[in-house]
Every structure is written in C-alpha cells, then in structure tokens.
Chain A
Amino acid sequence: MAGYGGAKAVPTKAPHTKTLCAGCAAVAALFAAPQPAAAQPAGPAEWAAAMARPAVVLVSVSWHGWVRDKQTGEVFGGTAGYDVTVPCSGAVLNPDGYVVTASHCVHTGPLGGGGALFDAAIAELGKAGRIGDPAKAKQTFVNQAVAEGVAQDRPVDRRIQVERTIEADGQPKRDVAPATVVDLLAPSDGDVAVLKIPREHLSALELGTDPPPVGSTVVSVGYPRTQGQDPDAELVAGSESGQVSALRTEQGRPFSEFGAATVSGMDGGPVVDTHGRVTGIISRTTGETRTPTSATAASTIAAVLRDKGITAKIADEDRAYRTGLEQYFAGDFDAAVRSFDAVLAASPTHRQAAEYRKAAIEKGGSAGSGSTLLIVFTIVSAIVAVAICAVGLFMVAAGRRRLVSEMDTPPFGIDLSPVGLSREPQPDGQGDTDKTDWRDRPTREYETEHQADPRDGNVEPGAPLAGHPSADKPGDGDQREEKPEPQRP
C-alpha cells in the first residue's frame, strides 16, 4: 500500500542557518533575498489531503459478546466471549467534539458490530471444522444468529474510542477519547453515525453542500488497516484520490461512487473535494481493496446533524491552518509560520500545524520576521528620536550662542529674554550678566522685527495683535517700549 500514508505533504528538511546577530538579521531582512521556491503540493489532491488530515480521526470500536444460534441454541464464544476491535475512520465536523463516521462501524446489527462478532464465531468454527463456505456461513448467521451480551438477549458490550495524534512537548502523542453515539442512520439506510467525544477545540472540516459533479476529483482520507496490524503507530492518515464515477440513490439516500481505492479501516473517513470540503464519508468497504468506493452524501450527514441540533462548522484556527497551508505552498514561509503560530496559539496540540510550521522554518521562514521588522522600525524610531532631540538641543544651544554673540553687535541685538522667562532680569548673584545684556538690548529693533512676524501681517505699532491681548493694556509686557534702554557704546 505504498499509496497510503505516503502522501504527507510536509516537505523534507532543508539546511537551517543560525542567525548570529539578530540586529544584522533584522537589517538583512529589509533587503531579504528572494524567497525559496514554493513548496508546491503535488496537486489539488495532496492539498485537499493536507487540509483534511488534522480533522481525520481513528474510530476504534471494541465489541465484546457472544453469538447464539437461535435455531440450535448453541452459544459461541465460550465463557469469556469474543473481543473484536474494528478500526474505522471518522471526520470532525464540529470542533466541540462531534465526529461523523459510518454507522456500520458502530451499529450493533449484523452489518455492524454483530457482524464482527459473527465473523469471530465463524473463524472459531472454521478451526473446529464446522464451516463449509464462509460466505454462506455468514449469511446463515445473519439469518438465524444473534450477537448478545453476558446473558441471553442482553446487548453486546460496545466501546468506542476516538484516537488522534496531537503535538505534546514537541513529540507526537496519541490522544484517546471515549465516544458515545449521538445518532445514526442504519447501515442499510444511509450509513451515517454521529459521535461525541469529551474534547473541545478540535480541528474540523467544512461540510460541503452540493454533491460533487461526476468526473470531479475527490480524495478519501482515513486510516487503512494493514492485515493483522493496527493502523500506523503514529496515526498518519492515508489518502487516495480518484474521480467521481456516479451519483446514485439507495433507498432514497444519495450516494456517490468514486474511483479511489479504499480498504478496511478507512470506512467512515471523509471524502473531500479539492477545496478540502467534505462531500461524503466512505461507506461499506470490505476487507479487500475495493473500487469504486461508495460514499454517503454530505446532504445525508447534514440531515443527521440537523436533527440533533448540531451545526457543522470550523473554527478560526482551522481557517488559520488553511491560510497557513496556502501561504506555505505559495512559498511565503514567513507568513506561513505566523499563520501556524496562530493555529498553535489557539490549539497548541495541532500536530499538522506544528509540522508545517517546522517545515516552513526549515525552508527559510522565520517565526520572528514580523518582530524583525518591528525591531528595525524601533531602531530607526529611536535614532530619529535621538537625532531630533539632538537637533533641537543644538538649535537651542546655537540660538543661545548667537544671542550672546549678538549682544556685541549693535544695533542688531535683540531681546535676550528666553522664551518663558521673565522680562525683568533675574539676579543670579553671580555677576548679573543677564541684567547687563538686557539693558544693552536695542529694543526698537526687536519690536520692529517682532511686529514683522508673518503671522502679524502689517500691524501698526501699538495696535493689538489679532487674537492676542491688547498691547495697550497697562501692565502688559510691552511696556518696555516706553523705557528705552541705554545702548552699549
């Protein structure tokens, strides 16, 4: 089954160069070299599988019971009964723990768990030499046998658990949750079951609305069961793509048939279109590889969910994951890393996001590229701030120096009173040079220049400035005009 599990779209590792200097890197980022070539998926099928994989779960159903031939009364299973575990697949269609799978995976009837127990009995009878044709034997059991529990007519014991691989401490880890059946359509009448697991913030898939057109490409995703083995220890979902070959109706329920080969274990797994939307779930595969495969239509799934008041929906992190994938496959690894970071922030155990994030980093993406730009901007801002401060201080200092020097160049000296200081010189007790300077100032020239301020226009001397208090008011600072100061020789 080389085709299964081999479709992982996570790219191979690329050399990673450590940055020696964050600042250098930050500056270099401004002049970054062209991005590495895009990690293009092999095609829409791989893209769709990459989209679907986080929401595909392993549905493991354990059955315990006995089989009784109602005609002869013979009970098969000995004292301990049969333990049968049936692996299936499922798809999360609501982040709050709602999983959809095929009902024949969880149904107790002959087409479900009862049938699995029949198979166990038939296998045991075969060893005892009591089976002629196994297929006919199975049919005989379907007709005249019943699977039951610890006592006659008691139900068989069924344990459903949903498994997925999560990211924990940088390592893949299986998260196993018990599941209950919320609702189902019998295997012969739709083959859909809705399960609930005590988990939240699960990765979910979008449920399609329209049946896929005949001839369109779809991808089946699930956990194929290797003969005699459990699914991959790391639970890597496999995928197979094919084309829709027919749409049909069975007992009023719509089904589609498609050309992707599926095997036991993938039952209940989603069939997605090239946009990653669920168009159906794999229905009734056999132990053999089979094609075409039948898929329950999305409309049937939607109806079951609707009857239970469950809404098929995806979460923001699912959208972020989709965006990250798009960015990753477009070669925008920096953006992809940021998107996957957003996914991981909301869902820290999102394994695929962690894998793709790692892959994006290995391809040159930087988790801190956004911060790098901020750092650069910060440095520039700081430099500008310091420069402005320096210029401002320089200008102030220069102005002071100029004023001091101009005091010796009458008649152009101007009022030395700095902005905000009192017009009257303030004795400082250390020579009172201010007083001297103030007295030496040619006030008329100052006034002329002051009134020539563009803001003032052609204001006549003595006239109040527009928007300013009248200069004629007693006590106003302009009284100095009436007190001409002696000029320095």
Chain B
Amino acid sequence: MNDSPRLPGRSAIAALFTVAVCALLAAATLIVVIVAGGTRPEPGPTAAALVSPSPTPRSAASRAAGPPMCLIGSWHTVEDTSMVTFYSDVPPLRFTGGGRDYEFHPDGTGVERQDNVALTSSYQGRELKIVANGHREFTWTATDRAITYSSFTTTAMTWDYYDQGRLISSQTAKAHSEVDDYTCQGQALSESSATGYRSTWTRTSSMGMYG
C-alpha cells in the first residue's frame, strides 16, 4: 500500500498547457476574425459603375424650314372685302363678297378657283357687281406673318364687271405679285393688305387634312 501523494504526471500537465495554448490561439484567431469581419467589405467592382459611361448630349441638327404648316391645305373665303377701281374716274370702291377657293400646297405651289364668285358694291344708287370665273395657279412663300403670291403660272380666270346688271367690261387676270399679311389658327385664316383688302377664310377638307 502506498499512501504517498502523486506528483501530477508530465503528460497531464502538458495536456493542460496544450489545451490552454489552443484556447488562447483560438481566442486570438477569433478576435482577428471579428476585427476583420466587423467592417463591411470594401465596395467591389460595381463602384466603378458610378463612373461608367453616361449618355452624351445630342448634337444639334436642323433641316430647312418648310412652309407654315397651318397655311397648307384648302381654304374657302367666307367674307371678302376689296377696294376695286370700277370707274376710271372714280376712286376705288369697296366691294364685298366671298366664295373663293384656295389650295396651298406644301411644295410652294397653289391654286385659286372661282366659280361665279361675286363681289358687290354700289355707287350713287347704282348696283355694281364683279363676277369671277376660272382658276389660276401660282407659287407662294410665307413667313409666319405674310404670304407672298408670285409667278402666276397659269391664268385662266376672268372678271366680268356689271353695272346695274349690265356687263360693261370683262378682264383676264394678269400676272402680278402680291404680299398679304395673314393670321392662321386652326380652321381660320384671315388676310389683309394695305390696300384695304380683308378676307376671312375657313379650312376645307379637300386637301391637307389627315383623318
């Protein structure tokens, strides 16, 4: 029988130290992991997306201006007022009427049609009338305020002058240029000139309309 107390075995002490060292190493490793993982990773490649190509502005481009869109189409005059030299020895008289038809084509050509369109006036109790028939073709240009009629290419139009119902003269339209002011909005067009000419037109559907 041996009652002598035992000194701890070498292996036991070594094991204890080994465990302790391992535990310390584990703790140190974990601390490193925590420190490394505690911060959010740096932005990846997508951060570069913020400086990736962006759309560039479009360079300016233009085409030659065409005729005013509003003018193009077909029109019918509902009210005309013209100052006409009816008698050679009498100053121009105010004639009124309506019923002329116009077409303004986008290629700068146009056509005017009159079918027994009458302008009437009176002078000293006498009933005066001018009746137009035929058509004429022309070229035209326009700004946003004025229309220039020029180069009547075809003139097959006559004006008959009636005094108290009696034909006193008949004239054929002559080529000439004319500049009139205008305003155009939707279905209405009005023209005027310094000579006292006034005209109100309304759009028709025979040309220039869609739908």
- 0/1 interface trace, chain A 72-97, chain B, CB 8 Å (1 if under): 11111111110000000000000000
Best-surrounded residue of B21, B52, B65, B69 (most CB of chain A within 10 A): B69
**Does A444 interact with chain B (Cβ within 8 Å)?**
no
Query: In the bound complex, what is the Cα–Cα distance between A149 and B61 (angstroms)?
Result: 9
- Residues from chain A with Cβ under 8 Å of B37 in the complex: 370-371
Instruction: Give chain B interface residues in 1-42, CB to chain A under 8 Å.
Output: 2-5, 7-8, 10, 12-13, 16-17, 19-21, 23-24, 26-27, 30-31, 33-34, 37-38, 40-41
- Residues from chain B with Cβ under 8 Å of A131 in the complex: 209-211
- Residues from chain B with Cβ under 8 Å of A128 in the complex: 69-70, 184, 186
- 0/1 interface trace, chain B 116-145, chain A, CB 8 Å (1 if under): 000000000000000000000000000000
**Does A127 interact with chain B (Cβ within 8 Å)?**
yes
Closest A residue to B72 using CB positions? A74
CB contact under 8 A between A132 and B209, given known A161-B55, A175-B49, A176-B55: yes
Q: Quick check: A348 and B52 within 8 Å, CB to CB?
A: no
Instruction: Give chain A interface residues in 154-191, CB to chain B under 8 Å.
Output: 157, 159, 161, 166, 168, 175-178
Q: How far is the CB of B42 from chain A (nearest CB, A)?
A: 8
Q: Quick check: A177 and B66 within 8 Å, CB to CB?
A: no
Q: How far is the CB of B201 from chain A (nearest CB, A)?
A: 12
- 0/1 interface trace, chain A 429-473, chain B, CB 8 Å (1 if under): 000000000000000010011001000000000000000000000
Query: In the bound complex, what is the Cα–Cα distance between A409 and B16 (angstroms)?
Result: 30
Candidates A157, A201, A385, A414; contact of B44 at CB < 8 Å: A201
Instruction: Give chain A interface residues in 353-383, CB to chain B under 8 Å.
Output: 368, 370-371, 374-375, 377-378, 381-382
Query: In the bound complex, what is the Cα–Cα distance between A72 and B170 (angstroms)?
Result: 36
- Residues from chain A with Cβ under 8 Å of B62 in the complex: 79-81, 150
Q: Quick check: B210 and A136 within 8 Å, CB to CB?
A: yes
Closest B residue to A414 using CB positions? B4
Q: How far is the CB of A263 from chain B (nearest CB, A)?
A: 25
CB contact under 8 A between A385 and B46, given known A128-B70, A132-B211: no
Closest A residue to B184 using CB positions? A128
Q: How far is the CB of A244 from chain B (nearest CB, A)?
A: 35
CB contact under 8 A between A178 and B54, given known A79-B63, A382-B23: yes
Number of interface residues of B (CB under 8 A): 63
Closest B residue to A173 using CB positions? B50
CB contact under 8 A between A392 and B13, given known A81-B62, A402-B7: yes
- 0/1 interface trace, chain B 182-209, chain A, CB 8 Å (1 if under): 0011111000000000000001010011
- Residues from chain A with Cβ under 8 Å of B209 in the complex: 130-132
Q: Quick check: A159 and B2 within 8 Å, CB to CB?
A: no
**Does B107 interact with chain A (Cβ within 8 Å)?**
yes
Best-surrounded residue of B26, B30, B208, B210 (most CB of chain A within 10 A): B210
Q: How far is the CB of B4 from chain A (nearest CB, A)?
A: 4
**Does B53 interact with chain A (Cβ within 8 Å)?**
yes
CB contact under 8 A between A395 and B8, given known A79-B63, A128-B70, A129-B186: yes
CB contact under 8 A between A395 and B55, given known A74-B106, A130-B210: no
- 0/1 interface trace, chain A 131-162, chain B, CB 8 Å (1 if under): 11111111111000000011100000101010
Q: How far is the CB of A248 from chain B (nearest CB, A)?
A: 31
- Residues from chain A with Cβ under 8 Å of B168 in the complex: none
Query: In the bound complex, what is the Cα–Cα distance between A134 and B188 (angstroms)?
Result: 20
Q: How far is the CB of B107 from chain A (nearest CB, A)?
A: 6
Which of A's residues lie within 8 Å of B, judged by CB? 62, 64, 66, 69, 72-81, 122, 124-125, 127-141, 149-151, 157, 159, 161, 166, 168, 175-178, 198-201, 341, 344-349, 368, 370-371, 374-375, 377-378, 381-382, 384-386, 388-389, 391-392, 395-396, 399, 402-403, 406, 412, 414, 419, 445, 448-449, 452
15 more A-B residue pairs beyond the given contacts A73-B106, A73-B107, A75-B66, with a C-beta to C-beta distance below 8 A: A72-B105, A128-B186, A129-B203, A130-B73, A130-B203, A138-B211, A166-B50, A201-B46, A378-B30, A378-B31, A384-B20, A385-B21, A385-B24, A395-B8, A402-B7
Leading 6 A-B pairs by shortest Cβ distance: A137-B211, A129-B186, A385-B23, A74-B106, A136-B211, A137-B210
A-B contact pairs, 21 of them (CB 8 A): A78-B66, A127-B186, A129-B187, A130-B73, A137-B211, A138-B211, A199-B49, A201-B49, A341-B40, A345-B40, A345-B41, A349-B47, A378-B31, A381-B30, A388-B20, A392-B13, A396-B8, A402-B7, A406-B5, A449-B2, A452-B2
